[in-house]
């Protein structure tokens, strides 16, 4: 059954966040029915909860020839609502072996971190149909529990910021029903039908076939993702005390390193890199780093991936951000 009014679900979701008066609530705008629904719900929420500070952000990386018109549409919609907004261009340089979609996504998230307060809650319009797409993409890439947790309702971001997906349990059809019932205006991106893009290939060619065979597949994938997220959360909890003793910013102490299992070494490295906002290296790069560390206690260590590098300085690992060649 399609639920027209999603506001009660939205309000209950935000109640779980433990928001403090004056805290910043940010809507990440894209222009589609998902983010425009989030904006409309947040606008309604704002009237009932004026003690928070609100902002909508749209970052335009100009990948689509109509992106300028989309930015103008979003600006007009925010002004019509008298909703505070920030709309800015993103300047992106694509490398020869980089996915345009991936670098665009990374740039948008980095831009959101730069333009929001340290403890902001950033609302993302991702929904249940997005969850199965993300799960299958991560499965195709050979991801572990962290990747397969796909998207959580609430996730830590940069600093004390948090990402929140209040409509993660909602289907795309329910979003359209809400938009039509409450006269939400949105943009239909024609590139969403280009099946050369991996996510669109799954959305239009693969997932409909899965749902026709197993109608409950979205719900079961959501449950598997939640179990993976629980596993990852438990591991973080178990490692938190250790990380406080061996991690100091971009420096990781190596005392007792050789006595740890390879699985523990990988878990420590992943969390250290994550704490510093570094892009996660591939499994091959991580294995190479582990191998270098195992050769000699004081031997040379140096690996690089993208714009990040790790080197050893005596009994410490140093993480640095480097310019591209």
Structure-token pair, residue 97: 């072996």
CB atoms inside a 10 Å sphere around CB 121: 23
- For the chain, which domains are there? 7-223 (3.40.50.620), 249-321 (1.20.59.20)
Residue 118 has pLDDT above 90, yes or no: yes
Query: Above pLDDT 70, what percent of the chain?
Result: 92
Where is pLDDT greater, at 110 or 191? 110
How would you label 17-40 residue by residue, b for 16+ Cβ within 10 Å and e otherwise?
eebeeeebbbbbbbbbbbbbbbbb
Instruction: Provide the strand spans (E) within 24-81.
Output: 24-28, 53-60
- At 3 the pLDDT is 52
Is the pLDDT assigned to residue 2 strictly greater than 70?
A: no
Query: Which range has the worst mean pLDDT, 3-17, 206-220, 254-268, 282-296?
Result: 282-296
Token reading at 50: 């004026």
- Residue 1 pLDDT exceeds 50: no
- Answer yes or no: are the C-beta atoms of 23 and 52 closer than 8 Å: yes
Return the closest-CA partner of residue 189 out of 106, 67, 41.
67
Bridge pairing between strands 24-28 and 121-123: parallel
281-308 average pLDDT score: 84
Residue 129 has pLDDT above 70, yes or no: yes
DSSP annotation of 193 reads G
Least trusted range by pLDDT, from 32-46, 177-191, 231-245, 293-307: 293-307
CA distances from 35 to 42, 103, 125, 127 (A): 10, 20, 5, 10
Chain-centre distance for alpha carbon 277: 12
pLDDT in tens, 294-304: 876 666 788 99
* Residue keyed to tokens 């910043």: 24
| Statement: residue 55 has pLDDT above 90 | yes
* Residue 4 three-state SS: coil
Please write the tens of the pLDDT for every residue from 198-240. 888 998 999 999 999 999 998 898 889 888 888 888 888 899 8
- pLDDT at 175 exceeding the cut of 90: yes
CB 279 within 8 A of CB 310: no
């Amino acid at each position: 059954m399609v639920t027209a009014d999603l506001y009660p679900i939205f309000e209950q979701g935000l109640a779980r966040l433990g928001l403090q008066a004056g805290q910043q609530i940010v809507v990440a705008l894209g222009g589609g029915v998902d983010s425009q629904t989030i904006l409309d719900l947040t606008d309604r929420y704002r009237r009932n909860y004026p003690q928070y500070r609100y902002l909508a952000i749209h970052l335009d990386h100009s990948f689509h020839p109509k992106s300028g018109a989309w930015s103008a549409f979003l600006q007009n919609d925010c002004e019509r609502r008298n909703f505070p907004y920030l709309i800015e261009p993103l300047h992106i340089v694509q490398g020869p072996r980089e996915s345009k979609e991936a670098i665009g996504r990374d740039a948008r998230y980095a831009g959101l971190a730069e333009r929001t307060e340290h403890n902001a809650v950033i609302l993302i319009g991702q929904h249940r149909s997005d969850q199965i797409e993300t799960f299958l993409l991560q499965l195709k890439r050979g991801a572990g529990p962290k990747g397969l947790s796909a998207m959580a309702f609430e996730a830590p971001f940069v600093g004390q910021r948090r990402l929140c997906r209040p409509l993660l349990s909602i289907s795309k059809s329910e979003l359209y029903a809400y938009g039509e019932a409450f006269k939400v205006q949105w943009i239909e991106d024609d590139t969403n039908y280009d099946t050369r893009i991996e996510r669109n290939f799954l959305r239009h060619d693969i997932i409909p076939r899965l749902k026709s065979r197993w109608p409950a597949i979205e719900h079961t994938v959501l449950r598997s993702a939640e179990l993976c997220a629980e596993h990852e959360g438990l591991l973080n909890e178990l490692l938190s005390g250790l990380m406080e003793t061996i991690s100091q910013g971009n420096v990781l102490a190596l005392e007792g390193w050789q006595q740890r299992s390879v699985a523990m070494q990988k878990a420590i490295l992943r969390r250290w890199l994550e704490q510093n906002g570094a892009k996660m290296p591939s499994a091959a790069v991580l294995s190479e780093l582990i191998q270098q560390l195992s050769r000699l206690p004081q031997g040379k260590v140096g690996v690089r991936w993208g714009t990040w590098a790790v080197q050893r300085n005596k009994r410490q690992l140093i993480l640095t951000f480097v310019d591209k060649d």
